[in-house]
Chains A and B, each alone.
Chain A
Amino acid sequence: MNEETKNTVDIDEALYRPIYETGKSFYFAVGFLLFIIGFTLVVYIRQVYYGLGVTGMNQPVTWGFYIVNFVFFVGISHAGTLISAILRLSKAEWRRPITRMAEVITAIVLAIGGLHPIIDLGRPDRVLNIFTAGRLQSPLLWDVTSITAYFTASTVYLYLPMIPDIAKLRDRGGKMVWFYEFLSWGWHGTEHQKKVLSRAINILMVMVIPIAISVHTVISYIFSMTLQPGWHSTIFGPYFVVGAIFSGIAALMIVMISFRKYFHLENYLKLVHFRHLGTLLLIMSLLWFYFTFSEYLTGVFGAEPHEMDVIFYKFTGTYAIFFWGMVVCNFLIPVVILAFKKFKTIPGILIASISVVIGMWLERLNIVIPSLANPRMGLDMGMYTPSFTEWTLFIGGLAVFVLGFLVFSKFFPIISIWEIEEGRKESVKEVEKRVTSYLPDPANSVE
């Protein structure tokens, strides 16, 4: 028994290494990120002090970067829990080294995204009014509800499968045993504990899927519940969810490739994992295009004048560069790269992923701003240029994301160790049994 543990520890030593070995570059990176975050904080306090005038927003473009980034970040957060839950549910064996990272993305990015509507408030000091005077009829309250539910569910869903790994860290001794002791909740890997844990994970993964879908649907409702041209669309719910999963997978692959490189995890995150995820990304890209095509074709064909104002603003007007940039980034580049095996290498997939993340950010921009810039009445077109404050807060948000990941990787294994072990020990046999059960029974056993 003892020997066996030691043996497995040695096999997966690469996964423990980042926790116990910290290089100079790590401290440098953390210091640099903390500096950016501190600066962002100063800029935000300045905004609270002077008012939202320090942003580039105006009348009629009353929403800007903050809402764009809110939709974008919450979209990215769908990487995680949703993908991990779907992969677990469908018993995709290649999920094992991926799920943990996906779940961490959700927890961190959702926290960042969820803060954006508060940053956007003119009176952040009154934010608690939504509890004392909240109107559940307002789509914003639906958002508050579903994002809190999603955040709760996804952090629990991140934490539960981490318990066996935390217990491993506790048993190894060394730094901060008390911390791991506390978090491992007395896990000793008994049969009963394993059964309870696997049940809890099963229940959560089924629950988390509808919650995740509701989150982005409800975010789309913020826009589609109004009467504004370009927003008032029934397709928005699924369109946003598809876009969210799309950008989520891309962000997940960027994170995976970075960790693979810096923590030398080539043995765990193999090309095959990226190829599988790449195929998923390709499917989402085609699905995204289908939704975008349907959305704009109905608008153009119906040719309602106010709707056309918004569409022309995107097709040939001020936003043409962002609109066509979005089509290139979200459709042309990923499809060309991912459809051909020749390009479907790690660098190729990295380029496709970065392009999709940029493209999806542009998509959010294309949804929020043009409709506001072309009001039905007033007749003069609005113009929006983000200010220094808005850019800083955007970069600050990204810095929090990177810092969150760095810190997490210093305390917990970024790849689920026990699930890899389980895969090695049990799944090979299990999968063999499962595949056998799909096949027709031997001829003599059929009547």
Chain B
Amino acid sequence: MPKWAMAIDLDKCTGCGDCMAACKLENNVAIVDAEQAADDRVMLWMDMMTIYEGEYPNIKLKRIPKPCFHCDNPPCIKVCPVHATYKNEEGLVAQIYNRCIGCRYCMAACPYTAKVFNWYEPEWADEFKTCMNPDVSLRMKGVVEKCSFCAHRLQKVKENARADDREISDGEYSPACADSCPAEAIFFGDLENKESKVFKLSNSPRAFRELEDLGTIPKVFYLSEKE
């Protein structure tokens, strides 16, 4: 079984935020109004952490893209009372929107605050409604959602590979953020495939994962020369 993982090269990343926009479009993520956004209810599957370090005049700014880390040992699925979030055999942590009761326990348990909640019935601008992605189901109010590593793309890739009777090649399955990144800083692939770019990057001396000491074993690797 493949084990899908992501590597984000922070030395290449310019912090432009293209991945965030691509993700919203790809996954039909609702766009909340300004008032809601001010109340900390922005819905982003791909978030951008902005960290200011140091004091004036020596301020350093860090911009770090943050999707769901699809942990190998996810704290969120352990606490779900109804099996609405689970890890499938390919290592993707998935959500079942139609079963979620909206208790938000998974959000409270996630150390990476990767999940978002539909506080109201999701809404889109009229222009947006004409270009919804038909491959991604719409969510309803009162359920939790999060980055799926664009699992719908995996379905397509699998079907194509089965039709041609071949294995999925490296780089064939790639989520929207990785595809759109203008700096080519996001890599995606199979950790079990020792030839894959992601596997090599994950073993790079520059590679690290967030909060590794928690034992959640995230499948998103960051690469950076600096701390």
Contacts and interface: CB of A to CB of B under 8 A. Distances in A.
Contacts of B214: 227
A367 interface: no
B136 interface: no
Interface in A132-191: 133-135, 137-141, 144
B69 to A, nearest CB: 10
Contacts of B84: 129, 133
Interface string B81-118: 11110000000000000011111110111011100111
A123 B100 contact: yes
Nearest to B141: A51
Nearest to A382: B40
Interface string A205-245: 00000000000000000100111100000000000000000
A28 interface: no
A124 B216 CA distance: 30
Interface stretch (B14-22, B72-80, B158-166, B171-179): B72-80
Given A53-B120, A121-B103, A133 B83 contact: yes
Contacts of A222: 105
A129 to B, nearest CB: 4
A140 B81 CA distance: 6
Contacts of A140: 79, 81, 103, 105
B188 to A, nearest CB: 21
B187 to A, nearest CB: 21
B122 to A, nearest CB: 10
Contact of A377 (B99, B111, B116): B111
Contacts of A60: 40, 107, 113
A59 B111 contact: no
B66 interface: yes
A138 B120 contact: no
Interface in A364-399: 372, 375-379, 382-383
B105 A138 contact: yes
Contacts of A375: 111, 113
B120 A226 contact: no
B51 interface: yes
Mostly, the A contact residues are: loop
Given A122-B142, A123-B143, A141-B81, A383 B40 contact: yes
Give the most central of B84, B102, B108, B214: most A CB within 10 Å. Answer: B108
B121 interface: yes
Given A378-B113, A382-B40, A121 B142 contact: yes
A117 interface: yes
Contact of A53 (B109, B112, B119): B119
A59 B120 contact: no
A58 interface: yes
What 10 A-B pairs have minimum CB-CB distances, sorted nearest first? A122-B102, A122-B142, A53-B119, A58-B40, A51-B141, A140-B81, A53-B120, A138-B81, A226-B109, A62-B104
Interface of A: 50-53, 57-63, 117, 120-124, 126-127, 129-130, 133-135, 137-141, 144, 222, 225-228, 372, 375-379, 382-383
Given A138-B79, A227-B75, 19 more contacts: A50-B120, A50-B141, A51-B120, A52-B119, A53-B119, A60-B113, A61-B40, A62-B104, A120-B104, A123-B140, A133-B82, A138-B80, A225-B79, A226-B79, A227-B109, A227-B214, A377-B111, A377-B112, A378-B113
Interface of B: 36, 39-42, 47, 49-51, 66, 75, 78-84, 99-105, 107-109, 111-113, 116-121, 140-144, 210-211, 214, 216
